[in-house]
Structure 1
Amino acid sequence: MHTEETAIQELEQTIMKYKRTVYGIALTQLKNKHEADDVFQEVFLLYYLKKPVFDDEKARRAWLIRTALNKCRQYNLGKWNRNTDKNFEPPEGRLADFESKYDSEIFEAVRELPEHLRETLYLHCFLGLSVNETASILGIRANTASMRLSKAKKILRSKTEGE
């Protein structure tokens, strides 16, 4: 039987392990630090309240990624959200944990991609998921994921070569 203290410890461990993953998704999908903070909190609150059981760590990670993406979609589709300022506010003068100006520029270019390309590219390139894992999480075929990756990379290449 799970005690409250055990549940909180397990939540803290999960947050420590997956905070960059969930927050990175939120930042790239929402382009607004305050909304990203909200999604981060909502994902882990939902995790705590639902207490999902997983067969392995891979399934836990997939659940957190899917939940973060779904929460971001809810924010992006919300009626009140269409009228809000979408200017991104970098935390403390730089983007998250990116070390160089080049990394920040690439991150910004990724954020300008259409949502379906941005999601696919972020999951594959930033989180290191395979094409099949990316496709599974997004609920699309592997061929579709590959095509989206190819298109996203082509767009990024053209943007970064011009600068």
Structure 2
Amino acid sequence: MHTNDPNVQELEQTIMKYKRTVYGIALTQLKNKHEADDVFQEVFLLYFLKKPVFDNENAKRAWLIRTALNKCRQYNYGKWNSNTDKTFEPPDDRLADFESKYDSEIFDAVRGLPEGLREPLYLHCFLGLSVNETASLLGIKANTASMRLSRAKKILQGKMEGE
């Protein structure tokens, strides 16, 4: 979609730059592709409507990550969610390169982790955030983030060795 509206152009650029980040979070935090699609759309709609102003690109990325995590939590803990089908469906061709980037077995194993371990592992290992950045985004201490990362890696290693 080509438009001369600078707000729409900026939104398109932001989506192109951060679509893997936001969609990846949604896919790992939710067990239903349709919910992941909804969260993806809600995050960028909120971004467009609120028009947040950031000091730098890292602040924008952090806002998008936090918003995606919060939206996923809303989906996971919402009352209506208790009756929805949690069968995970792999991503469609829209982000085909997303699945090819990550080995699907590892991706499935990450999705099987408890939320408290899944979030820091994804942020640190898949998005490349430092332990301090991960802790800051999750609102926990760096030592807690480090401990959760260690536990998550240990569980994943056990799963991968068991298969």
**TM bucket normalised to smaller:** over 0.9
Task: Encode CA deviations 1:87-106: one digit per residue, 9 max, x unaligned.
Answer: 0011349x953338x81001
| Alignment-mate amino acid for residue 8 of structure 1 | V
| Structure 1 residues without counterparts, runs of 5 or longer | none
State the match for 1:156 in structure 2: 156
2:86 aligned partner: 86
Secondary structure of 1:91's aligned partner? coil
Cα deviation code 1:17-66 (max 9, x no counterpart): 00000000000001111000000000000000000000000000000000
Partner of 1:109: 109
Tell me the amino acid that sits aligned with residue 148 of structure 1. R
Q: Which residue of structure 2 lines up, in the alignment, with residue 129 of structure 1?
A: 129
Distance 1:82 1:92 in 2: 25
Please provide the CA RMSD for this pair. 1.7
Aligned partner of 2:100 in structure 1 is 99
Q: What corresponds to 2:21 in structure 1? A: 21
- In structure 2, the partner of 1:63 is 63
Tell me the distance in 2 between the aligned counterparts of 1:52 and 1:92: 30
Alignment deviations for residues 123-152 of structure 1 (CA, whole Å, 9 cap, x no partner): 000000000000000000000000000000
TM-score, scaled relative to structure 2: 0.93
Q: Is the 8 A contact 2:22 2:40 kept in 1?
A: yes
Partner of 2:144: 144
Identity %: 82
Q: Which runs of 5+ in 2 are unaligned?
A: none
Paired residue total: 158
**Corresponding letter in the other structure for 2:149:** L
TM-score (norm 1): 0.93
Moved over 4 A (4+): none
Whether 2:56 is the aligned partner of 1:40: answer no
Question: Residues of 2 paired with 1:26 and 1:159: CA distance?
Answer: 22
Q: Which residue of 2 aligns with 1:9?
A: 9
Partner secondary structure for residue 110 of structure 1: helix
| 8 Å contact kept, 2:11–2:48 | yes
Q: For 1:65 and 1:143, how far apart are their aligned partners in 2?
A: 21
SS at match of 1:89: coil
